[in-house]
Structure 1
């Protein structure tokens, strides 16, 4: 068990239960191929297009949160366009807490703080337009 915990800590995960509860999809084939199910794979562009379209049509909170859970379940970080559409969907369904949590999900998926800062910088105009405040700004 100690070796397993060390392995999880070396991968940046600190809770053994979270690593077991959310297995990441298998990567196979050429670079950029991700597994949807046993007989279908999709490229990064297909996944981004799928979720970009999905968040454009979201009309209620349950749909939004289900889509975010599915989107973040992949072993990839969604593109900034997908995050922007998710933020707009959160605003459309009037769900401020989920909008803040979207950035927490992005922060958890990214391997470095610099990449997170780049995402925040790129999405700052959208956040200002929609009136979304980051957790870091809410709690210093």
Structure 2
């Protein structure tokens, strides 16, 4: 038996239970919700919740994520930023995607670079929009040597 295990067993036998437990308060048999006890409705009557955050324009969104991708140091940061970027209800700009691809190659994560294009394909509404993104990103794709999934697995189509 390891010394730590012996210590645990020894301290369990010595420790009085009353020192570590909070005293039990008497509870009523019928508990009422806090909202009813305060004479307030149990649902929200406001139409809009204020989170304290200002609305962000698309340009501010793009600048923020470009800066985030430029500062990526490891794969975890890259994937976290990609998840955050693609979680919004919009397709990232070409500049943001270029920064993401450069960051993927900088941290030597080729599969994530390929998956960026899969994310674009999932986010756009039509195949024509996907083709427009591919045309716009063709130069960076060739420069970094990133293949598309369609090129890697042509039999799946």
TM-score w.r.t. structure 1 length? 0.72
Alignment match, 1:80: 94
Distance in 2 of aligned mates of 1:84 and 1:138: 21
Distance in 2 of aligned mates of 1:93 and 1:38: 35
**Structure 1 or 2: more strand by fraction:** 1
Distance in 2 of aligned mates of 1:38 and 1:46: 18
Q: Deviations over 1:104-140 (max 9, x none)?
A: 1111010000000000111011011101001011111
Give 1:57 shift: 1.0
What does 1:33-44 correspond to in 2, within 5 Å? Answer: 38-40=51-53, 41-44=55-58
Q: Deviations over 1:23-55 (max 9, x none)?
A: xxxxxxxxxxxxxx8221201111000001110
Runs of 4+ more than 3 Å apart:
none
Q: Deviations over 1:39-83 (max 9, x none)?
A: 212011110000011101111000000000000011110001000
Distance in 1 of aligned mates of 2:73 and 2:56: 26
What does 1:54-133 correspond to in 2, within 5 Å? Answer: 54-133=68-147
Distance in 2 of aligned mates of 1:44 and 1:91: 25
Distance in 2 of aligned mates of 1:83 and 1:121: 13
Distance in 2 of aligned mates of 1:77 and 1:128: 22
What does 1:21-32 correspond to in 2, within 5 Å? Answer: none
Q: Which runs of 5+ in 1 are unaligned?
A: 1-36
Larger radius of gyration: 2
SS at match of 2:82: helix
Distance in 1 of aligned mates of 2:51 and 2:90: 18
